[in-house]
Amino acid sequence: MQWKPVDRPPLLEWGPWETTIQCWMRESGQSREAVLRYLREADLECSAVLDFGMRPPVEERILSEDEISRIRVDPMGLVYREFKRGRETSMPEFIQFPVRNADDWKKLKPRFDPADAGRYPADWAGQVALWRREGAIVRLYGASNSYYWGPSLYGFARAMLGDEQVLYAFYDAPALVHEMMETVTDFCIAVLHKALREAPVTWVQLWEDMCFNGGPLISPALFRTFMLPRYKRLTEAIRESGVELILLDSDGEVSQLIPLWLEAGISGVYPMEQAAGNDISAYRRQYGKGLLMTGGIDKRALAQGRAAIDRELEAKIPLALEGGYIPTIDHAIPPDVSYDNFYYYWERKQALLGV
Chain segment 198-208, per-residue pLDDT in tens: 999 999 999 99
Tell whether the model's pLDDT for residue 86 goes beyond 80.
Answer: no
- Assess if residue 345 is contained within a domain: yes
Co-location of 225 and 76 in the same domain: no
328 with 294: CB under 8 angstroms? yes
Instruction: Count, in order, helices (H) and strands (E) of the chain.
Output: 15, 13
The DSSP bridge partners found for residue 272 are 295
| Measured distance CA(98)–CA(45) in Å, rounded | 34
pLDDT at 259: 98
pLDDT at 91: 85
Co-location of 307 and 294 in the same domain: yes
The parent domain of residue 324 ranges over: 18-57+100-353
- Lay out the sheet containing 268-272: strands in order across: 45-50, 137-142, 203-207, 245-249, 268-272, 292-297, 325-329
- Assess if residue 4 is contained within a domain: no
pLDDT band at 85 (very low <50, low <70, confident <90, very high): confident
Co-location of 197 and 68 in the same domain: no
The pLDDT of 246-265, averaged and rounded, is 97
Tell whether the model's pLDDT for residue 89 goes beyond 80.
Answer: no
Q: Beta strands 203-207 and 137-142: pairing type?
A: parallel
- Assess if residue 42 is contained within a domain: yes
| Measured distance CA(156)–CA(206) in Å, rounded | 11
The pLDDT of 86-102, averaged and rounded, is 89
84 with 93: CB under 8 angstroms? no
The pLDDT of 207-233, averaged and rounded, is 96
pLDDT band at 148 (very low <50, low <70, confident <90, very high): confident
**Where is the domain boundary, 73, 97, 121?**
97
Co-location of 197 and 219 in the same domain: yes
Tell whether the model's pLDDT for residue 58 goes beyond 90.
Answer: yes
Rg (alpha carbons) of the chain, rounded to whole number: 21
Co-location of 84 and 110 in the same domain: no
- Assess if residue 82 is contained within a domain: yes
Tell whether the model's pLDDT for residue 133 goes beyond 80.
Answer: yes
24 with 310: CB under 8 angstroms? no
- HSE-CB of 125 using CA atoms within 13 angstroms: 0
For 37-56, how does the pLDDT look when each residue is reduced to its tens digit (9 = 90+)? 999 999 999 999 999 999 99
What CATH number has the domain bearing residue 140?
A: 3.20.20.210
Co-location of 256 and 165 in the same domain: yes
Looking at residue 346, its amino acid is W
pLDDT band at 143 (very low <50, low <70, confident <90, very high): confident
The pLDDT of 277-281, averaged and rounded, is 97
The pLDDT of 71-86, averaged and rounded, is 92
Tell whether the model's pLDDT for residue 335 goes beyond 90.
Answer: yes
pLDDT at 265: 98
Co-location of 284 and 311 in the same domain: yes
The pLDDT of 275-300, averaged and rounded, is 97
Would you give the DSSP letter of residue 200?
-
The DSSP bridge partners found for residue 346 are none
The pLDDT of 66-87, averaged and rounded, is 92
**Three-state SS for 243?**
coil
- Assess if residue 201 is contained within a domain: yes
If residue 296 lies in a helix (H) or strand (E), which one and from where to where? strand 292-297
**Three-state SS for 83?**
strand
The DSSP bridge partners found for residue 248 are 206, 269
Co-location of 152 and 115 in the same domain: yes
- Assess if residue 5 is contained within a domain: no
| Measured distance CA(297)–CA(294) in Å, rounded | 9
Co-location of 192 and 72 in the same domain: no
- Assess if residue 6 is contained within a domain: no
Co-location of 213 and 134 in the same domain: yes
pLDDT band at 146 (very low <50, low <70, confident <90, very high): confident
Average pLDDT across the chain, whole number: 96
Provide the domain count of the chain. 2
- Assess if residue 124 is contained within a domain: yes
